[in-house]
Structure 1
Amino acid sequence: MAKTPLFNNWTWKLSMPEPFDKTASNISTAHYSTYCRVATKKATLHAPLLSAVLAYMEMDTSLTPSSASESAIGTQGEKTVAEYQSRTKEIHVVVFNRKNGKFNVGRYEDPAASPKVYSLKDGGNTGTALFFALIPEAMKDDEFRESYELLGKCRDDGYADMDEAEKAAFILCDNLYRRIESADTLPAAGIRLSLPTTGNMPQLTAVNMSRNAYSPSSVLYGTFRILTGAAAHSAAGPVDRDGFVKGYPLSDRTLTPKEELMVPRIEDWYVIPPEVTTICRHAQMTTAGSQPMRNFMMRGPAGTGKTEGAKAVAAGLGLPYLYYTCSANTEIYDFLGQMLPETDEKPQDGRDYPTLTDIQMDPPSAYKKLTGTYDETVTDAEVYDKLLEVMAQDAKALMADNASGQRFRYVETPLITAIRNGYVIEIQEPTVIANPGVLVGLNALLDRCASVTLTTGEVVHRHPDTVVIVTTNNSYAGCRDMNQSVISRMNLIMDIEEPDVDTLTERVMKVTGCADRSAVSDMAASVQEISERCRETMISDGSCGVRELISWVQSYMVCGNVLEAARYTVLSSVSGDPENRADILSSYLEQKFAA
């Protein structure tokens, strides 16, 4: 099985582009790349890869000075950006991050339209656009470049010598195939890619499009039609702090003095990101509509500022902020609140309620636990409704039963407080919940009906100002996929990307007060390099991000030695395995910071 979806089995069965559709055999034992190091030497033509090479040639003005291609390719910092004109006349926009091997892709039927999902699967998109964006990286290899030039010469000659053309095609396909699939064993020539196994490629984010994050700073070939930078607006520049705070009110309500104290204060060091203003603008400008936007998701690696962003949203809206942190054992009752005794005594006859897992796996048995009746026809939805009903009845009985002198009280969760009063509520890391169906129990609060029944029997209706912000990442140990029904109820999903070294340096200097820009910049670059090293070598039992960098800089300010400070901050956090830490220390830190 292929290591990357670009070479899944179905991709080898696709029809070859002209003139290679008339090649006698798609397999050659005579022509293969120098990276073919298996016992049986052979190369296989790969239609999406070969189509990308031919499309690149049509655009390459060094081969075709009067190129009429509608494709384009360029660079933006450490990214390669491309617009590939597909056979169906769609424009496939690809952003390839050469540093981490990740792609962002969008399909455009028209340059003015919104992008659609690029799905890499049989019957969907073939991956040609992704190969197209990889060619500048592939050209760094002498063998690939020489074979590319040979094929270009054959094309210019009208493919008069098909033997030479086929030789070049076999080597090109085998070269890039080996360098991608065997990247770990080819440290210099290998091209490491990070693609989702589902084949659904991450889309271009609206915020990054608006601030020209994908627009090419250098155009190699062609004319861009979408990544032109014309969509830039004021959000790309610094946000005025005074104008932002309480600058996006959702109503004319007056907060109580206690609520005013719950509105977050934006610290002087905090730079308001465009994702935050985007959420605030959408929440405010859709208020008058029949379906105002009130549910948002912010996802990204740890330390990229998701929680600070949620607080900033609350400050911009002028609303109190609360949060709820999920754990692996979180159940629906933890979101809705619990009945607790007013003393340390435990109730004498506490009921053992079924969990959501019990309900989903065996509804009849869960129903019997609640009612004493085993009903094979009962559905999990009916059991869930019965659970809420029984919990409400038990709560009333507990409060009414004073014979033993035991009194109980309902303890409201931050979520219910926010829903009831119209606050901003951040739900942190729901993907760590062992049962991904737990959040489904909150769907009623995320829909327009917006009500939920508490354990006391009270029906709480969602205040129209309530804003729910889910903050999460899906790339760390213990994280699980979020239920699709919850994702579909998010009005905006904002992908928070890791900042570049300059931005990270500025942010950390403001947080820590460190004035040594050179040292902080070197430390920021090292953190990103170490993080990339951990990704490549599958070191996943620690963390190396913004928080670790801040601690590193603070320790450096105390002890005055970068390497010594690293030993007890970034290095100790990166892994619990002594061998992993020793490798990072010798490979990066000692070489860069040794006196």
Structure 2
Amino acid sequence: MAEIKLFDTWTFQEEMPEPFSRFLQKEGLRKTTTMVECLSQYNQGRQATLHPPTLRAMLNIAGIYLKQIEGALGFQKGNYDLLNFYCMEYVKGKRRYALVYNPISAKIRGVCKTEKQTYAALDSVERNISDGEELLAMLIYVSLEKKEALYNLEFAQNFILFMQQMKEGWKNAKLALKAAFLCCDNLYRRVENVQDFSNEGIPLEKSQLGKNGMEQLSTLAIESELYAPNDAIKGTFRIFGETKKVREWTLKELQKIYRQHWQVSKDYQDRIPRLPEDMKVGEYAQDILSAIVESPFRKFMITGNAGTGKTTDAQMIAQILGVPYFALNCGPETDESTLVAGIYPNFRKKTEDSMKFPSLQEFVTDPMQVLEEVAHTRKEGITKSEAFRELLDAVYQSGYQKAKNEGDFVMQESEIIKGCRMPSVIEIMEASLIVEPGTLGKLNRLLDDSRKLDLLYGEVVERHPNAIIIITTNLNYVANREFDFSVVSRMNKVQHRKDLTEQQLAERAMFRTGCKDMEVLKQMAKVMKRLDAVVKEEFGKAGLCGYREYENWVYEYMRTQNLVKAAEDTVLSKLASDEEDRDMLRQVCMEIYVEQGKGSV
């Protein structure tokens, strides 16, 4: 049985599209062959089979490239030439499918525009419902684009032969069949056996092909051109539209698209972040927002060096959704009471009557009598020191029992539990530092699909369906360690963030600090990147040359107007405590200044 439903047995039994049904008959061949020249490089001497849905998709994709049929293909790339999505519009019968594929999440999402010009969800891959032809078309497209990581040379070469035969009117049946066998076999094995070809396989989340169907793109997101392609465009996008550059969305603009009207208590309205509304929202945050609104995903993990915007993004997501933001910073000492709830004395409650304690003189004169009055027990033959310890213990126990009887101990909930009771964004920082198995167990129960957690006194808290948990961590810090897999496996999405580029560092600093000299900011960013490389190589340290250090340096430069002096206490002093090491780092800075003609700065 196939791992991927696109290749279930019944899909191979569908009618063979023309002209391949005629070609097979003409050449006296069956749809399955063992001829070596028809087997892909991923086929270990077995057999290749023509797959009707794949062939129909190939015919349509070739038609789009040759401008013979309706449809469109393209990329959406981010501001720094990073691929966001493969985009496709595919016509099948009277329906037009708009699809996007994210190779990182391995998911295809989309909508279908019906004959009545309304949007509908994509069909699940089931017999008598859909054979997934439009999804196979997307996987064919991602194999053809030479600029991107999923490009496959064998597939592309044979698809070009296939397309040439189509353009020439299928003059050579043998050549067309060979190209068809190779493409079908290649695609099947790279999708079905992706684990065997980690660098050349096509990742596809198989759970999305079930009865619940694919994730549907919202109408508002489509009309706002969130998925508009901007590169390598073939054909005309009639649903997604086209744009020359991915828009830089602000908080205010995304609030109009993603704002949720979840009910929030007045007591927690002040917990909703209030970042500047003109603040730019990065692509990572947009991806999480899209997942929250367009899918049931509520648990996310973000890893990355300091200054890559993990906490800022969590706060922006809360503000855009319109929900309170809660945060808990973890460490090796984090225990169950810190993570969930603890019992503490109720200092706010006034005690009506106070306990009576003996005076020091009474204790010195007759310690046995004093102990008997307080502890209600008489112990003969003990020393004053022993009697004093007994007295302290008796006073503690008496006070504890009195507070317990009067309800003077209260349960104080953690930030996590407060957030779990309502729609919210809960950031759990540096959870990889948690070392206690019992604490990890509590965290895992909170992350389970049941969403239930036992508190003290038998209360059960159920995580609100719209309580969004974002675990953030900097794995490069020395104190951090690899995440426990039991936590990672419970995440819906895991983002491993790349370090900010020099351009990104400069642009962020310009926005946050108000420094208007972009050339100087770029120069400083170049120095930071060079220092980071040197510190890693020479000192074996990571995570010390992040955005925070860079921003501090920018502020100090704005105050002193001297790049070298400003770097001394904001950057260099953090990187090395030894004067010789700092001097070596100063030389690194000066080399860059000289390279760029800034030696006098």
Task: Output the TM-score relative to the length of structure 1.
Answer: 0.52
- Residue by residue over 1:353-409, the C-alpha shift from the partner in whole angstroms, topping out at 9 and shown as x without a partner, is xxxxxxxxxxxxxxxxxxxxxxxxxxxxxxxxxxxxxxxxxxxx9975569999744
What displacement does 1:167 show?
A: 1.9
State the secondary structure of the residue aligned to 2:30.
coil
Offset at 1:166? 0.8
Letter paired with 2:180:
A
Seen in structure 2, the aligned counterparts of structure 1 residues 43 and 481 have a Cα distance that, compared at 3 Å, is farther
Q: Partner residue of 1:266?
A: 275
- Partner AA of 1:57 in structure 2: A
Residues 301 and 411 of structure 1, relative CA distance in 2, 3 Å threshold: closer
Deviation at 1:170, TM superposition (A): 2.7
The equivalent of 1:133 in structure 2 is 141
Amino acid at match of 1:228: G
Partner of 1:311: 315
How far off its partner does 1:54 sit? 1.1
Structure 1's 120 and 333: CA in aligned 2 closer, same or farther, altered over 3 A? farther
CA displacement at 1:137 relative to structure 2: 1.4
CA distance in 2, matches of 1:553, 1:467: 34
The amino acid across from 2:100 in the alignment is: V
Is 1:151 matched up with 2:137?
no
Is 1:80 matched with 2:81? no
Corresponding residue number in structure 2 for 1:411: 412
Write out aligned runs for 1:130-529 (5 A): 130-137=138-145, 147-155=158-166, 159=170, 161-173=172-184, 191=200, 193-196=202-205, 198-199=207-208, 203=215, 206=218, 209=222, 211-218=224-231, 220-228=233-241, 236=249, 239=252, 264=273, 266=275, 270-271=279-280, 297=298, 299=300, 301-302=302-303, 305=309, 307-312=311-316, 321-324=325-328, 337-340=341-344, 408-415=409-416, 426-428=426-428, 433-434=440-441, 436-439=444-447, 455=456, 468-472=467-471, 477-478=483-484, 480=486, 506-511=507-512
**C-alpha distance in 2 between matches for 1:424 and 1:297:** 10
CA distance in 2, matches of 1:11, 1:329: 56
- Matched AA of 1:196: E
Question: Which sections of structure 2, spanning at least 5 residues, go unmatched?
Answer: 78-82, 348-397, 433-439, 476-481, 533-540, 558-562, 576-594, 597-601
Deviation at 1:202, TM superposition (A): 7.9
RMSD: 7.0
Structure 1 residue 56 corresponds to structure 2 residue 61: yes
- Distance in 1 (CA, whole Å) between partners of 2:173 and 2:499 is 49
Give the counterpart of 1:31 among 30, 37, 43: 37
Partner of 1:578: none
Question: Which amino acid in structure 2 is aligned with residue 61 of structure 1?
Answer: L
Structure 1 window deviating more from structure 2 (207-216 vs 72-81): it is 207-216
Q: Partners of 2:525 and 2:126 in 1: how far apart?
A: 38
Residue 165 of structure 1: how far off its partner (Å):
1.6
SS in 1 for 2:142: helix
Residue identity over aligned pairs, in percent, reads: 19
Cα gap change, 1:552 to 1:27, in 2 (>3 Å):
farther
Q: CA, structure 1 residues 54+253, in 2 after alignment: closer, same or farther (shift >3 Å)?
A: closer
CA deviation after TM superposition for structure 1 residue 215, in Å: 1.0
How far 1:520 sits from its partner (Å)?
5.0
Paired AA for residue 471 in structure 1: I
SS in 2 for 1:36: coil
CA distance in 2, matches of 1:180, 1:495: 23
Amino acid at match of 2:415: P
Q: Give the deviation of 1:410 after TM superposition.
A: 2.6
- SS of 1:51's equivalent in the other structure is helix
Contact kept, 8 Å, 2:111 with 2:119, in 1: the verdict is: no
- Deviation by residue 1:110-148 (Cα, 9 ceiling, x = unmatched): 364254487799986364132243254169777655543
Are the aligned partners of 1:179 and 1:191 in contact in 2 as well (CA < 8 Å)?
yes
Deviates more, 1:300-309 or 1:509-518: 509-518
* CA shift in 2, pair 1:253/1:335, >3 Å: same
CA contact (8 A) 2:96 2:113 kept: yes
Is the contact made by 1:331 and 1:438 (CA closer than 8 Å) also made in structure 2? no
- 2:47 and 2:507 map into 1 onto residues whose CA distance is 52
3-state SS of paired residue (2:303): coil
Could you tell me which residue of structure 1 aligns to residue 372 of structure 2? Answer: none
Change in Cα spacing, 1:297 to 1:439, as seen in structure 2 (3 Å) is closer
The amino acid of 2:252's aligned partner reads V
Q: Is the 8 A contact 2:326 2:425 kept in 1?
A: yes
Shift of 1:93: 1.0
Q: Which residue of 2 aligns with 1:91?
A: 97
**Unpaired stretches in structure 1, ≥5 consecutive residues:** 284-294, 344-396, 445-451, 488-492, 531-541, 571-593
Corresponding residue number in structure 1 for 2:585 = none
Given that 1:205 and 1:494 are in contact with CA atoms closer than 8 Å, whether structure 2 keeps it comes out as: no
Hey, what's the Cα distance between the residues in 2 that align with 1:507 and 1:306?
Answer: 14
Larger Rg: 2
Q: 1:559 to 1:81 in 2, by over 3 A?
A: farther
> How far, CA to CA, are the matches of 1:204 and 1:521 in structure 2?
44
Q: Is the 8 A contact 1:72 1:222 kept in 2?
A: yes
| Structure 1 position 208, deviation (Å) | 5.8
User: Bigger shift: 124-133 or 515-524?
Assistant: 515-524
| Deviation at residue 51 of structure 1 after TM alignment | 3.1
Q: 1:159 to 1:473 in 2, by over 3 A?
A: farther
Distance across 2 between alignment mates of 1:173 and 1:522: 52
Tell me how far apart the structure 2 counterparts of residues 460 and 298 of structure 1 sit (CA, whole Å): 17
Structure 1, residues 257-292: CA drift from partner, whole Å, max 9, x if none? Answer: xx96x6755379953579999999xx9xxxxxxxxx
Partner secondary structure for residue 55 of structure 1:
helix
